[in-house]
Structure 1
Amino acid sequence: MTEATATGDRPTGQANAPSPNRAMMDRDLASAALGMMVERDEPGHAVVSMRVREDMTNGFAITHGGLVFTLADTAFAISCNEDEQITVAGGADITFLKSTHAGQTLTATAIRRIRSGRTGLYDVTVTDETGDTVAEFRGRSITTNRTLPA
């Protein structure tokens, strides 16, 4: 498990093989600032966790929905950037199913459903530390003609 920092290493799922997401995650200051941890980084599959802090809660003392979305979106980004081509979100939807609070740990697990040509469809389930589902996210990806910087 690796913290998403500007200088941290990322697990690759393959011994001694560089992750295509390394450059992307090394520059992802938002995920680092939120304390996200990349637990799995494989083509079409990613797991990212985040401990909810007090400053991540809204006026009702529950985790801000935008931060749950951000966690899911980070796992989505890792799972859909499978090679050197930059892949971005074409759209995403989220359904919030359970509220959480400061001190809890959320985990987003992203899975590729289909990748065809330049587009893809990915599902992300966000759970709490008990395994209860907090949110379901569906992301639609578009692969660009640009490549990831080294």
Structure 2
Amino acid sequence: MSTEGEEHTTPHSRRIAAHDGVMAALGIRVERAEPGYAVARMRVRPDMVNGVGVTHGGMIFTLADTVIAMASNDSAAASLVAGADVAFLSPSHEGDELVAVAERRTLAGRTGLYDARVETAGRVVAEVRGRVRMPRETR
């Protein structure tokens, strides 16, 4: 898998992106990944829409989960999304390019809160708040 054209400020997000089969399968491209902030894109394909012709919520959430992972993985010990709340605000459709931006809101001990916004053509499709758990560093 390639990370060509992606800007990573840590080797950890670069390594994760290079080995993530889901990102590759869905065509998710990371534009920027730095501690506490990330941007990723995904074009909605015909196999990503549901029976009523809108993007399946699971596809939108996966993009948001990915961008939160890129923003939160800035150390050697992998951080994982421990829970998330999603609000789907408007539909997207086949052919739309979804852009997700994640930002760290707070970090307390080993728990971080990250907000991700998914948009298309300047319209908000979804908002996600992720709770990220940072494991203890291995010694």
TM beyond 0.5: yes
Structure 2, unmatched stretches of 5+, are none
CA deviations on 1:88-135 (whole Å, 9 max, x unpaired) are 01100100000011000001100000112110000000000x211000
Aligned equivalent of 2:2: 7
The match for 2:43 is 51
Residue in structure 1 matched with residue 122 of structure 2 by the alignment: 131
Structure 2: distance between partners of 1:59 and 1:67:
14
Q: Which amino acid aligns with 1:95?
A: A
TM superposition score normalised by structure 2: 0.93
From the two aligned structures, give the one with the greater helix fraction: 2
Q: Deviations over 1:34-72 (max 9, x none)?
A: 001101111000000000001100000110000000000
Cα distance in 2 for residues equivalent to 1:25 and 1:112: 19
Aligned residue type for 1:12? H
Question: Which residue is 2:29 aligned to?
Answer: 37
TM superposition shift of 1:146: 5.7
What is the alpha-carbon root mean square deviation over aligned residues? 1.3
Mapping for residues 1-150 of structure 1, pairs under 5 Å: 6-9=1-4, 10-13=6-9, 18-128=10-120, 130-145=121-136
Identical-pair percentage: 45
**How far off is 1:29 after superposition?**
0.4
Number of the residue aligned with 1:3: none
> CA, structure 1 residues 92+71, in 2 after alignment: closer, same or farther (shift >3 Å)?
same
- Aligned letter for 1:7? S
Contact 1:11 1:19 in 2 (8 A): no
Once the two structures are TM-superposed, the CA of residue 7 in structure 1 deviates from its matched residue by: 3.3
Divergent runs of 4+, >3 A: none
1:145 deviation in Å? Answer: 2.9
